[in-house]
Amino acid sequence: NRLLSKRLQNISYSQTLAMSNKAIKLKNKGYDIINLSLGEPNFSPPNFILNDAKKAIDEGSYHYYTPVSGYLELREVICKKFYRDNGLKYIPSQIVVSTGGKQSIMNVLLSLLNPKDEVIIPAPYWVSYYQMVKLCEAIPIIIPTIMEKNFKINPKKLEESITKKTKLFILNTPCNPTGSVYSYKELKNLVEIFKRYPKIIILSDEIYEHICYSVKHTSIAIFPDLYDRVITLNGLSKAFSMTGWRIGYIGAPEWISKSCEKIQGQITSCANSIAQRAAISALNASPIEIEYMIKEFKKRRNLVLDMMKEIPEFQIINKPNGSFYVFPKVSDLFGKKFYGKIIRNSEDLSSFFLEKAQVSTVSGSAFGDNEYLRISYATTEDKIVEALTRIKKSIKII
Ligand code: PLP
């Protein structure tokens, strides 16, 4: 519709949500769909968090607006968490709690970006960064990476993509969709470049921080030269399996946290009050409390990788060390004909798997690289085995 704003016409629907919705619709029609397109853990949130949320409801004084940036008690707990888990020192005025990491990111982008500003995003990237940057009328500058290099950018590539208009760099480690985790050393090498460009701000999305296997997660704000221009983003969705509770938060220089608060004050006020009480309970707890989920994810990651060895058309030579996705190269299947239809790209392949194997995945094109497919292993082992067996069978029949 022409009456819609140009800003809106310029962006597309979230392809991960679209794929999930398609799968849910087919499931509701009675099809036995296995959903490997979701960015959502299948655990229940830990009981101690749920109990504290129930207590907060019964207690009776938490049904009202909270301060825009979140209860002070929660922001204090977040400061403790940042110090305990990441070695980062923040004070409550540097923290803003929002309705999910998505809102936290949008607050930051709206605070910083002017039309035509450039934002560097390494690809494959999480779908929403690209669209959110466009929604701000800024320009996403994509740095492609390759599987052979673990989908990581190197300092040279980073420097080549910097121009006078570069305003922001978005880092996502552990990464959705590749599972890559930057080591301390790799980040240090990037920091050396940023030191030469003091005006570039860094948004560090660490929402998968705890879902990290053999490499230790490092926050880029730990480097003193950068601390004053890094926004560290985190949330409850992935680590605590609390996607629907919608709690995200940032730690940032005060001039940025204050501007996020200003925006949020106009468009949402505060995040949900009971969810904030639950967040106090979640973030006060030691990460040991959620270790059982991480162990489970690791087992599933190994299972997926083992099973993929038996599907030669799925190439995967990197080792995804975090998040709960694998990102195999599937372009060997392009140009091949199945059931009379040619698979031209990752979207065709994803649709093919949904129709013929009844497994939903997300095309690599959604993440900025058409040669790949994203498979989420945030589901049970049984379902993973069944889904990959179906996928394997579906491409054997030519
Ligand atoms: N960042 C990344 C990389 C994600 O994958 C997601 C969710 O899929 C988010 C941020 C936002 O999560 P939420 O809005 O549920 O906190």
- pLDDT tens-digit map of 204-243: 999 999 999 988 999 999 999 999 999 999 999 999 999 9
Count Cβ atoms below 10 Å from residue 61 Cβ, excluding itself.
Answer: 7
Q: Which of 245, 268, 286 is the last residue of a domain?
A: 286
Please check whether residues 102 and 28 belong to one and the same domain. no
216: domain CATH number is 3.40.640.10
Q: Which of 267, 286, 305 is the last residue of a domain?
A: 286
Contact 187, 220 (CB under 8 A): yes
CA–CA distance, 377 with 319 (Å, rounded to integer):
14
CA–CA distance, 69 with 218 (Å, rounded to integer):
25
Please check whether residues 14 and 31 belong to one and the same domain. yes
Please check whether residues 330 and 190 belong to one and the same domain. no
Tokens of 376: 């989420």
Please check whether residues 382 and 247 belong to one and the same domain. no
In the predicted model, what is the mean pLDDT of the chain?
Answer: 95
* Residue from 38, 98, 128 to probe ligand 1 pocket by mutation (most atoms less than 8 Å from CB): 128
**Domain range spanning residue 298?**
6-44+290-394
- pLDDT tens digit sequence for 162-202: 999 999 999 999 999 999 999 999 999 999 999 999 999 99
Ligand 1: nearest atom to the Cα of 40: 8
φ, ψ of residue 329 to 5 degrees: the values are: -80, 130
Please check whether residues 281 and 303 belong to one and the same domain. no
- Return the bridge partners of 212, or none: 322
Percent of the chain with pLDDT over 90: 88
CA–CA distance, 165 with 58 (Å, rounded to integer):
52
Please check whether residues 77 and 30 belong to one and the same domain. no
What confidence score (pLDDT) does residue 23 get?
84
Does ligand 1 have an atom closer than 6 angstroms to the CB of 39?
yes
- pLDDT tens digit sequence for 91-131: 999 999 999 999 999 999 999 999 999 999 999 999 999 99
Count Cβ atoms below 10 Å from residue 150 Cβ, excluding itself.
Answer: 19
pLDDT band at 10 (very low <50, low <70, confident <90, very high): confident
Asked if residue 1 belongs to a domain, the reply is no
- Averaged pLDDT for residues 46-61: 96
Give the Å distance between the CA of 206 and the centre of ligand 1: 9
* Residue from 151, 237, 241 to probe ligand 1 pocket by mutation (most atoms less than 8 Å from CB): 237
User: How many structural domains compose the chain?
Assistant: 2
* Residue from 17, 151, 176, 250 to probe ligand 1 pocket by mutation (most atoms less than 8 Å from CB): 176
Tokens of 196: 């030469």
What confidence score (pLDDT) does residue 256 get?
98
What confidence score (pLDDT) does residue 398 get?
46
What confidence score (pLDDT) does residue 151 get?
97
Please check whether residues 149 and 254 belong to one and the same domain. yes
Count Cβ atoms below 10 Å from residue 134 Cβ, excluding itself.
Answer: 16
Residue indicated by tokens 């890094």: 230
- pLDDT tens digit sequence for 20-38: 788 888 889 899 999 998 8
| Residues in CB range of 90: below 8 A, 6 or more apart | 78, 79, 82, 83, 251
What confidence score (pLDDT) does residue 397 get?
55
Does ligand 1 have an atom closer than 6 angstroms to the CB of 176?
yes
Please check whether residues 211 and 277 belong to one and the same domain. yes
φ, ψ of residue 243 to 5 degrees: the values are: -60, -40
- pLDDT tens digit sequence for 316-358: 999 899 999 999 999 999 999 988 889 999 999 999 999 999 9
What confidence score (pLDDT) does residue 11 get?
85
CA–CA distance, 396 with 114 (Å, rounded to integer):
51
Please check whether residues 275 and 306 belong to one and the same domain. no
Q: Is the pLDDT of residue 391 over 70?
A: yes
Does ligand 1 have an atom closer than 6 angstroms to the CB of 205?
yes
Q: Which of 256, 286, 316 is the last residue of a domain?
A: 286
Q: Is the ipTM of this complex over 0.90?
A: yes
- Return the bridge partners of 374, or none: 362
CA–CA distance, 165 with 143 (Å, rounded to integer):
16
Q: Is the pLDDT of residue 158 over 80?
A: yes
Percent of the chain with pLDDT over 70: 99
Please check whether residues 282 and 335 belong to one and the same domain. no
Per DSSP, helices labelled H in the chain are 6-9, 15-28, 47-59, 72-86, 100-112, 127-135, 155-160, 184-195, 254-267, 273-284, 291-308, 346-352, 381-394
Residue indicated by tokens 């589901």: 379
For residue 384, give Cα distances in angstroms to 20, 302, 307, 360: 16, 11, 9, 12
DSSP three-state, residue 227: helix
Nearest Cα residue to 231 out of 260, 253, 199: 253
Asked if residue 348 belongs to a domain, the reply is yes
